[in-house]
Chains A and B, each alone.
Chain A
């Protein structure tokens, strides 16, 4: 958001007796209406959805007790490895942890930031992913396992890089903007970014919302066939969708021949998207997972076609809950940037200079990131240390894994994949219905519980 949209610096209005703020027209709403009136253009920003949504926080694990045996923390093994691409690829991707790094472009992120992600992923034995704009040598060099995205724009798409990749991800959509293309604003188009994308420097670059050479699931099947032919059936092929009609999308992507499905919930981040898109299109990650799992189970392919879930993963608890609902792995984007320093209070003074504040900064589209992550300005990018940033992200990935293991052991599981919906209850009616797990205190998922109670009453 622009500085004029969110004047986070003083004066901040204080409540006094007699003052009542409208719920409908709160200060954010008033500020946005007045910004729109001033500027005559919608707000473009980075980050993901900021509204409150039903999420993993609304779920709890039922730890082991009399009816279940827990595993000893720090002693008994709780494995975390995951293999992606076992369906058709001759060289599946072997990850040591069930957390991967989501696709983020060189262009949206600086070269040192991409390098840090590669270093971190390699250090802990997981994969990272390219983004719109192609693969950089630094990224390939620092990422032992790299997933190469095939996006509608095909910026930087190159068969040499395709062959160098460890997996290919056909991107149909992302959670922040299902059905939308991308926009890299002109001030982030450096000479290098422009050359990689075959476009003039300094102009706004549209990333198309539709693939240029296929339409619909039947074509997608043929497209995937071509990618397999080009790479001699070695590489796992992922299909990534933004969470919307997830049940149908997953079934169609599987039918089209995907090895791995990536479902990105509406909380998933973006480098530059209209705020109205981020906040109002798509469905929450929490309800997308059961839809995807149902689609895979009905096809008899749950676990044979792996499911990666992203969109709002912050902690090992989120990881464990996503896995318990049926995901094989999760992907992180925003959290990885935060781990490497984005929105750190350490940079408060610099954030204030550009009209933002630590904890609020979402102008990733603007290229003025004082931390040097979401920028193409050489001077700003040079402030970011990829070795230190990589170490921080690696530490964070380890913590996510340790936390997920802790919860899995508490539920008596010797592998994080053994977590199951039966281990979960929901705190809210919404979460119970979306995640299809019982409301805390009930025995069955909410609708089943209610149906049972109605039946009991009728039979009484």
Chain B
């Protein structure tokens, strides 16, 4: 571990520092309210659970690819991955933001309650599964069953969406610019009104994406036909 004085950034090399030590030091900042606020993690080498459980306004930059559950349950912190991320990126995030320069594996943003997740590449299957308030912006495409049982929050997909988008969706809003391979049960296309255009514009701006027009997106959401268990819907179950 060395201090990068020029940038006032704490640098942690996961090639020599155990993951547990890194996470505990990051947690200690939240507990004590003291310590560096800018961190750089090098040589992550696909490690799982990097920078998870953060609970302070830290800026953490990870230089390379990460494994499962990077920035899991994030609160307040800004985590940037200069590479690709494995399964469950920013799962159950509560607040703050997580940005991935590359692509994310499946279940990115799963069950996340808040904050902003930006994937500049593609996100695989089940992106935004059971999302509970998070906003997710994907520069590329998302895989099948994305926004499965999505409850609230927004998923903005600048590319295409795979099969069964929004299956069993509740109140989340889905915006897709490209093709949708298919909609899941109880998900349908809805009118893009001014408020939705404004919302997409705002989310793209927060994600730092300025070469995409909000007017190119279509909106999808719940038909609300499966909200109450009815035998008339048996064919849909």
Residues of A within 8 A of B (CB): 39-41, 153-154, 157-160, 162, 183, 185-186, 197-200, 203-204, 206, 208, 212-214, 219, 222-223, 225-226, 229-233
Contact = CB atoms under 8 A, between A and B. Distances in A.
Main secondary structure of the interface of A (DSSP, over half): loop
B198 to A, nearest CB: 23
B20 A154 contact: no
8 contacts: A154-B130, A157-B92, A159-B73, A206-B149, A213-B87, A223-B88, A226-B49, A231-B53
Given A159-B92, A159-B94, A213-B91, A226 B68 contact: yes
A226 B24 contact: no
Interface in B1-28: 19-20, 23-24, 27
Given A154-B110, A213-B129, 8 more contacts: A39-B231, A197-B151, A206-B149, A212-B107, A213-B107, A213-B110, A219-B68, A226-B72
A39 B232 CA distance: 11
A40 B133 CA distance: 36
B129 A230 contact: no
Contacts of B149: 206, 208
A212 B111 contact: yes
Given A203-B227, A213-B111, A230 B73 contact: yes
Contacts of B107: 212-213
A206 B75 CA distance: 26
A41 to B, nearest CB: 4
Interface in B85-134: 87-88, 91-92, 94, 107, 110-111, 113, 126, 129-130, 132-133
B72 A230 contact: yes
**Max chain B C-beta neighbours (<10 A), residue from A157, A198, A206, A233:** A198
Size category of the B interface is 35 or more
Interface in B212-231: 227-229, 231
B88 A214 contact: yes
Interface in B60-94: 67-69, 72-73, 75, 87-88, 91-92, 94
A152 to B, nearest CB: 8
A226 B52 contact: yes
B133 A198 contact: yes
A41 B102 CA distance: 48
A200 B126 CA distance: 22
Nearest to A150: B92
Contact of A198 (B67, B152, B227): B152
A271 B68 CA distance: 33
A229 B19 CA distance: 8
Contacts of A204: 227-229
A41 B231 contact: yes
Given A40-B231, A213-B87, A226-B68, A198 B113 contact: yes
Given A198-B152, A226-B48, A154 B168 contact: no
**Max chain A C-beta neighbours (<10 A), residue from B20, B48, B111, B126:** B111
Contact of A186 (B72, B73, B133, B228): B228
Contacts of A153: 130
Contacts of B92: 154, 157, 159
Contacts of B228: 186, 203-204
Contacts of A222: 48-49, 67-69, 87
Given A159-B94, A225-B48, A154 B171 contact: no
Nearest to B113: A198
A159 B96 CA distance: 14
Given A186-B228, A206-B168, A219 B130 contact: no
A183 B229 contact: yes
Nearest to A159: B73
A157 B151 CA distance: 14
A203 B228 CA distance: 6
Contacts of B91: 212-213
Nearest to B107: A213
A273 to B, nearest CB: 13
Contact of B27 (A39, A200, A219, A232): A232
B154 to A, nearest CB: 14
Contact of A229 (B52, B87, B152, B229): B52
Contacts of A212: 91, 107, 110-111, 126, 129-130, 148
Contacts of B110: 154, 212-213
B59 interface: no
A157 B20 CA distance: 23
**Max chain B C-beta neighbours (<10 A), residue from A157, A213, A231, A233:** A213
Contacts of A214: 68, 87-88
